[in-house]
Amino acid sequence: MKLLRHGGQDREAPGMLDGDGVLRDLTGVVGDIAGAALSDGELDRLRALDPTALPVVPADTRLGPCVGAVGKFIGIGLNYSDHAAEAGMDVPTEPILFMKATSAISGPNDPVIIPKGSTKTDWEVELGVVIGTRAQYVSEADALGHVAGYCVINDVSERAFQIERGGQWVKGKSCDTFGPTGPWLVTRDEVPDPQALGLWLDLDGKRMQEGSTATMVFGVAELISYCSRFMTLEPGDIISTGTPPGVGMGQKPEPVFLKPGQRMQLGVDGLGAQDQVAVAWS
């Protein structure tokens, strides 16, 4: 099942994608794709609906972030060994956790704003994991049972803010529009193995990133278990699980960073694709 949110910014309504790729409205059926609606029982209730009986949403309607009311937006750093190498950093012995501000979350096709004073805004295609049921000190064996579903994330990052300005990574990760999320939340029953998904990102039609979640240093189950030791994971929390090589700061012979007017297209196998144009802050 592919769930989504559609409509104007901060006014999104719940919806789903039917088997023919038609957007359907879930207004009145569920309040939002958020919180308690992400539990197994509620997802089963939505799964039992006949999508063809739901109102059609016009195909050109804006898609918002596929999850609403996100409490925590957790990032995982250097979770692909070849990305660590291009960044000139050691492969971590434990997962590196950082937080992205939830105010960074945007729709999958919304413009990405290059922030004021930025010189090194960069791209990162990632697999996003959306928590469906509360997780606290969970084992790896039980971890995937706490997942509502998966989605595409672009972990947009300003490298000068992240690395050169002191302190933690959060200020290079949290600018407005630095967390495009969606287009769909694909429920976990449609993703039997989250460690067998291809990821890709094109910049102005040129393939920059291509990889597989099979090469993660720490897999999804381990990440959920690990995070749950340090914080309680709640329904709607997102874990963005790291990026494969090919980011701008790793380009040779010189790094390449986003400029206004450039277009990013990115996706994860089975989870849909995003399409964003970079724009200057104003």
DSSP per residue, 41-110: HHHHHHHTS-GGGSPBPPTTSPB--SS-S-S-EEEEES-BHHHHHHTT-PPPSS-EEEE--GGGEE-TTS
Domain CATH for 226: 3.90.850.10
pLDDT of residue 107: 98
pLDDT recorded at residue 225: 98
- Whether 90 maps to a domain, the answer reads yes
122 lies in a domain? yes
Query: Does residue 102 sit within a domain?
Result: yes
Q: What is the pLDDT of residue 130?
A: 99
User: Would you say residue 138 lies in a domain?
Assistant: yes
Q: Give the separation between CA 54 and CA 67, rounded to whole angstroms.
A: 20
Has residue 24 been placed in a domain?
A: no
The distance of Cα 156 from the centroid of its chain, to the nearest Å, equals: 10
Does residue 18 sit within a domain?
Answer: no
The structural domain count of the chain equals 1
Quote the pLDDT of residue 167. Answer: 84
* pLDDT score of 86: 78
**What pLDDT is recorded for position 39?**
98
Going by the DSSP 8-state scheme, the letter that residue 233 receives in this structure is: B
How many C-alpha atoms does 190 have within 13 Å on its Cβ side?
Answer: 18
Taking only the tens of pLDDT, the chain with its 282 residues reads: 999 999 999 999 999 999 999 999 999 999 999 999 999 999 999 999 999 999 999 999 999 999 999 999 999 999 998 787 777 778 899 999 999 999 999 999 999 999 999 999 999 999 999 999 999 999 999 999 999 999 999 999 999 999 999 888 999 999 999 999 999 999 999 999 999 999 999 999 999 999 999 999 999 999 999 999 999 999 999 999 999 999 999 999 999 999 999 999 999 999 999 999 999 998
Q: What pLDDT was estimated at residue 90?
A: 83
Single-letter amino acid code for the residue at 123: W
Q: Are 114 and 278 in contact (CB under 8 A)?
A: yes
Does residue 47 belong to any structural domain of this protein?
A: no
Query: What is the per-residue pLDDT across 151-164, written as a single tens digit (0 to 9) for each?
Result: 999 999 999 999 99
- pLDDT at position 46: 98
Per-residue confidence (pLDDT) for residue 266, from 0 to 100:
99
So what's the pLDDT on residue 84?
Answer: 75
Q: Which domain holds residue 214?
A: 67-280
Would residue 273 count as lying in a domain? yes
Cα–Cα distance, 186 to 271 (Å, whole number): 6
